[in-house]
Amino acid sequence: MKLKDFKQSNILVGLYIDEHALANEKQFHNTIYSITKQQEVQPDLVVFHSGLNKDVLKKVEDILKDPVATYAKVNAEGVKEEKEEKIEKGEAVNYTLVNTKSESFAQLFNELFSYAFDNEYEFFSIMEQEDVFALHWFKYVQKYASEKENVGAFSPLMRHTVNSVYQGIINEIPWVEGIAEEAGITDINILLKAETAINILGCAFRVSKLIEHLPENENGGYSPMKESMKLINAYEFFLRIIYDDIKVLTIPRNGYELNYAVRDSYNPLSSKIPSNITQLPQEKGGITQQEAKFYIDLARKEYFFEEDRNIVFEG
């Protein structure tokens, strides 16, 4: 899809929304608010959905045009209160809605990459509906990118929460003394020891670096992520691009808040694999422990191959 009349930035962000997007409406407001308030570097936004009804989409568009940030304020007695800060008129996000045919996170990621490549964006990034960007994140991306032209991807330090309860920091491992071969750069050894060492959400990918190592697919396009892998495809993707000498730098700044919303099912269009996925029934996206192990092992074997060899679990 050509976005010639839409494009206003050199950064494209993709966001998939489903029926849960408005379940916590204040959180969705915060997600959109975080995009509109990027200091100095405002990205364009593609909002993907899978056929949401008109009423839901109307509400989503109202938020996209006029998001309201809600944050906790402590009164004189030390009790938290909620205060709403409204965005001033004219700061609505530059967005387009896309009814996607993608059925998995890998397909969605590849669709976003195609939009970024076809429309000559310099960077693209994918986020999810419960999350927020730090207000200076893309400003930091531009600053580091101008100084480190050999780096192909810039990942943020992430504040990790579950149902808004703080769990810890993600993506910090490359900065731990004595761990990485090069300070701040995620390497193969780090990933082979821990498949969760780097998270794909919020990461800004330089389109020109990825395209150098991508073979054309059967449709004449490019698929950075292997779509045949049911799970762990982001892990294999990072292993492969790092093996191809695409540097992934964690910018030592808080850039993204990753919030897991505990649910009784798993949506394959999300990169957030539930910790209890092996306990979920198959009809709700659950898999067996044997299948989960299969895909982790497969990722550690397949990253040597640029093409998708379509190896699937046969349990």
Residue 4 covered by a domain: no
Q: What domain range is 103 assigned to? A: 11-69+79-269+277-302
pTM for this predicted structure: 0.93
- Identify whether 2 is part of a domain: no
Total structural domains in the chain? 1
Q: Is residue 84 part of a domain?
A: yes
Q: What is the pLDDT of residue 93?
A: 87
Beta partners for residue 156, in sequence order: 251
Looking at 39-43, 57-61, 207-211, 247-251, which range is the least confident one?
A: 39-43
308 inside domain: no
pLDDT tens sequence across 189-205: 999 999 999 999 999 99
Region 5-19: what's the mean pLDDT?
94
Q: Is the pLDDT of residue 223 over 90?
A: yes
| pLDDT digit string, tens, across residues 105-163 | 999 999 999 999 999 999 999 999 999 999 899 999 999 999 999 999 999 999 999 88
Per-residue pLDDT band at 165 (split at 50, 70, 90): confident
Question: Is 283 part of any domain?
Answer: yes
- The answer to the question of residue 210 being in a domain is yes
Residue 202: C-alpha distances to residues 60, 215, 279, 303 (Å): 21, 25, 28, 22
H or E element at residue 301: helix 289-302
Inside any domain, residue 307: no
Q: Could you give the C-alpha distances from 306 to 103, 196, 240, in angstroms and in order?
A: 22, 22, 7
Q: Is residue 236 part of a domain?
A: yes
CATH of the domain at 153: 3.90.550.10
Q: Residue 310: what pLDDT?
A: 93
